[in-house]
Amino acid sequence: MTTDTPTRSKGSDVTYTPQDGVLLEVDDLFVEFHTPDGVATAINGISFELHQGESLAILGESGSGKSVTAQAIMGILDMPPAVIPQGHIRYCGQDLLTMDPEQRRKTRGPEISMIFQDALSSLNPVFPVGWQIAEMFRTHRGMNKSDALQQAVRLMERVQIPGARERVKAYPHQFSGGMRQRIMIAVAIALDPAVLIADEPTTALDVTVQAQIMALLEELQEERQMGLILITHDLGVVADVADRIAVMYAGRLVEKADVNDLYAAPAHPYTRGLLESIPRLDQKGQKLSAIGGLPPNLMRIPAGCPFNPRCRMAQDICRRDLPPLREVAPGRLAACHFAEEVIDA
């Protein structure tokens, strides 16, 4: 059994203790966006857990609800138009959605932190990168400017930015895309968070830099025993990093499984389609497989299984009845009427 140890003592007046090793629990969460054209249900009753030292990958196409889930956890949704009509987000047993705003602010950064997908737009262009990293220490730890800047240099060195001491006063535009992403990681890990959310951390980076960023995240996660949530649409990125995978489609979780089980035999047609669309060396010259059609409009989600208009296995029951997320094998959950057949296919 995991030994529950406090996640925070230094610099905070609250100590959080994981419940049976569970750092984060999302329970039956709904998120809606109320617009002049109607209500878009971006998150539709999802539930998952994150344990100490665990890496959980959340996969899905653009518009599946991955980033909205991360923003809801961080408490940075614009409300309105966003509304959370139902659900719980518990950090070490404490519901973030019912916390007072000041306590929620104190958890954001020291306890739960996030790497945003576009480093260039997430970093302030008019402040040096060292100033932006040091802001975490000035704001949350009460450090003076000199000590905070020294911490910024230390973190830049930790995320492997060459010449950190000389470049601490450089501006974001003076760094490459990969280096900016490392700076974003430095900001995110500055206060030793227990939970780190990485939202598409390798977007727009070349393959070599992608591998370097993922290796760095894995190293930091193991070093600090953080719980890591990796949000991505790329199954290839998470193969060597994730312990478990949760697949989202149209705001729902359609599959949850151990990474090895999911890659060996997916239990949902959507997951199988994602896997089949990955280019492979043994398929040289063959046509690349793709999932036909487009994700549904979240204001007009189809009846039955949301994936049924794009599914090659769809039958009448799929167009009529919404399949529950159910256990289809030990440790495997899937929301498909024919999940057992998909596994055996």
Domain contains 269: yes
Domain contains 339: yes
Domain contains 272: yes
Please choose, from the candidates 197, 187, 265, the residue with its C-alpha nearest in 3D space to the C-alpha of residue 58: 197
Domain contains 316: yes
Residue 13 confidence (pLDDT): 53
Rounded CA Rg of the chain: 21
Domain limits for position 272: 265-280+288-295+302-344
- Chain position carrying tokens 């973190």: 155
CA distance 60 to 322: 19
Residue 282 confidence (pLDDT): 66
Burial of 312 (0-12, 13-18, 19+ CB in 10 A): exposed
Domain contains 92: no
Domain contains 33: no
Please choose, from the candidates 108, 109, 132, the residue with its C-alpha nearest in 3D space to the C-alpha of residue 119: 132
Domain contains 119: no
Q: How far apart are the first and last CA of the chain?
A: 35
Residue 144 confidence (pLDDT): 92
Q: pTM value?
A: 0.86
Going residue by residue through the chain, which has 345 residues, state the pLDDT in tens, using 9 for 90 and above.
344 555 543 444 556 777 788 899 999 999 999 999 899 999 999 999 999 889 999 998 888 899 999 999 998 988 889 999 999 999 988 899 998 888 888 888 889 999 887 767 788 899 999 999 998 888 888 889 999 999 999 988 888 888 889 899 999 998 888 888 888 888 888 888 889 998 887 766 677 777 777 887 888 888 878 899 999 887 777 777 889 999 999 999 999 999 999 988 899 999 998 888 776 666 676 777 788 888 898 999 999 999 999 998 899 999 999 999 999 888 899 999 998 888 876
Domain contains 188: no
- Check: CB of residue 5 under 8 Å from CB of residue 21: no
Residue 1 confidence (pLDDT): 38
What is the count of structural domains for the chain?
1
Residue 93 confidence (pLDDT): 87
Residue 121 confidence (pLDDT): 76
DSSP string covering 281-333, please? GGGTTSPPP---S-PPPTTSPPSSSTTGGG-TT--HHHHHSPPP-EEEETTEE
